[in-house]
Structure 1
Amino acid sequence: MEISANWVFILIIIPISGILVGAWDLTKKKIYIWLLVMLWGVVGILLLFSKRGSSPEEKLVNIPIEKKHYYGSYVIAREFFSGDQVDWQYNHFRFEIKDNDSIYFHLTNGAKINKTHRGGISTTKLDSNENLMLHMDTPTHHILKTNPRLYFKDNELFLVFKSKKYHNVYFKKGEWKEIE
């Protein structure tokens, strides 16, 4: 069983800090203040070094996102949620962005494409990333009413659309495969 840093902090660091402050308050001995300062110094040093990314995968996230990074096929990202609803979305929605700046949003039933909503894309530069903007032909699907937000998790790019029916809908790059 893996214990997260949050639990260590809540169950160990904070209670020890409270005990040291209480011991100092009762005895007025400076040793307890020094132990408290040393404890928090170690915590600070550990936090400082734990935030440093040294692997190539961690450095990959720091590359600026350009329009060319959006090109490809997208499927519902099933790792954020589980159950019948996300499986249903996975089997009914996917899209692709082509290098001619066109987007094809497919309404599907498994492998079969039932309907396709077409449109174009552009990007706008915010900070170091180019954010995706959709220009859909009308009428369009409710998932595509707003531009997606860009997120990273575990070195993967996720496009999150705001839907009136489903709230946040997460897509990631990948090819559709039948659910086992």
Structure 2
Amino acid sequence: MNRRTRTVVLCCALLLLTAGTVGPAATATDVPQQREAAALTGTAKLYRSAGDDITFSFDAHLAAKDAADPMKATGTFEFSHYLNDWGARAKVKVDCLVTGGKVAVVSGVITDSDLPGAEGKRVGVTVHDTGRHDRLGYSWAATGRPGAGQEPPKCVSSAPFEKVKKGTGDFTVVPWQPQL
């Protein structure tokens, strides 16, 4: 076999080997994942000068397939507020999530709580994820405590007026980008 033929055969063999190993592997495993339409996750304690122990935790998501309907959000959030011998906690099933930039509004119905009359009532929370000095607001600031005041509609809360205690906020907001 002459030198030119050997070079062509070698190049063809290398090409076939490369195509055989890279081609199928790239198409089978490199399928891009579609990001979720919106999300609010993380935990923080609120700052209170009296020393109240107030904690909020979120795990709320809106799937990509439901991007056009924020009321198809899923997940839970929890909150608790204790001071000395007084306090209560609640777990909430998410019924709506809307985010924009670094702000999220999530609402849901309380499924478990030691606060009298709170179970079955809707509440809403707003989070502003600034990265360093997060803020938070909640619907009962204007409507009365859960179970004793009025319920807000889905996806309604107050402005994020509370300060998160330094070093405790790790909120992450995935901004909603609906097709308009």
Measured against the shorter chain, the TM-score band is 0.3 to 0.5
TM-score, with normalisation over the residues of structure 2? Answer: 0.37
TM-score, with normalisation over the residues of structure 1? Answer: 0.37
The higher-RCO structure (CA 8 Å, 6+ apart) is 2
The answer to which structure has the higher helix fraction is 1
> Rg larger in 1 or in 2?
2
The answer to which structure has the higher strand fraction is 2
